[in-house]
Amino acid sequence: MSGNQYKKKVKDALKEREYKLILKHRFETRITNVKQGKAAFASGDFLTAIRKYTEYLETVAEANRLTGIYELRPDIFHKTKDITEMLMISHLYYELAKVYDATGKFQEDVVKCLDQFVLFSINQPFQVVNSEMVRKHLRKFNFKNQEVFMRAYQQIFVKSRKCFVATHCFGDNHPVTNDLRLFKVEMLKMKGGLQLVSFYYRLSPLLVEFLDRNNSFAFVFRLFTKPLLFAFSKAISRRELK
């Protein structure tokens, strides 16, 4: 190795070490960007909010050796240890979507952020919380891209594999559970179907949580509910065959 090659190698190593130290510091202080972004959003300073939220997401992406904020995905995080981080990420994508929507200039970014919000919401413990948040905002605000926000809300239900009561009674991959998931998708196409599915997702997790704590009642519940769900799934299947 020549002298120039050795110097270049040392220089590159120092740059890499410096970059890692800077990234480590950025990662350890990343929550500061979130706080500053929320304060900016609350005061109507949308440009600062965008910059601070994006800095947070860029830091998390770089720490996971990704090149952009839209490459983040749930499977690079630990399902239990990183659940708080994933919840924050989902909310920041949603906050970014709202900021971009408020400016009225970045529709493509609104769509990308809401796609990421959906990705980080489906089949997560906080799925119901996130869907309720969007539902309330849809009733309260007039988004410039109202249809895009509505579609994101609907996708949380369509893409989710959760069917709480059927899963509790039959298991996650039972044919009855799968039939009821398909029926849920069809319901979203019906008038008033979205409201019914929303009501189900507000009520059913609480019911299942209660059943998990009360084994005797859960046994009686399954005894009476399983035949009804089974008969209903058969009726759905027969209707689909016609």
Can you give the pLDDT at residue 87?
A: 94
Please check whether residue 60 lies inside any domain of the structure.
Answer: no
Domain membership of residue 133 (yes or no) is no
Which has the minimum average pLDDT: 19-28, 78-87, 98-107? 19-28
Q: Report the C-alpha gap between 96 and 125 in whole angstroms.
A: 22
Q: Distance between CA atoms of 15 and 97, rounded to whole angstroms?
A: 35
The answer to whether residue 90 sits within a structural domain is no
Q: Supply the pLDDT for residue 120.
A: 95
User: How far, rounded to the nearest angstrom, does the alpha carbon of residue 158 sit from its chain's CA centroid?
Assistant: 13
In the chain, the number of structural domains is: 1
Please, which pLDDT band fits residue 241 given cuts at 50, 70 and 90? Answer: very low
| Residue 154 forms part of a structural domain | no
| Residue 166, in any domain of the structure | yes
Q: What is the pTM of this model?
A: 0.67
Q: Is residue 131 part of a domain?
A: no
In a domain, 207, yes or no: yes
pLDDT range class, residue 103, cuts 50, 70, 90 = confident
The answer for 104, left when phi > 0, alpha when psi is -120 to 50, beta otherwise, is: left
pLDDT in tens, 107-157: 899 999 999 999 999 888 788 788 888 988 988 888 999 999 988 988 886
Domain that holds residue 229: 161-242
Residue 225 lies in a domain: yes
pLDDT given for residue 8 in this prediction: 63
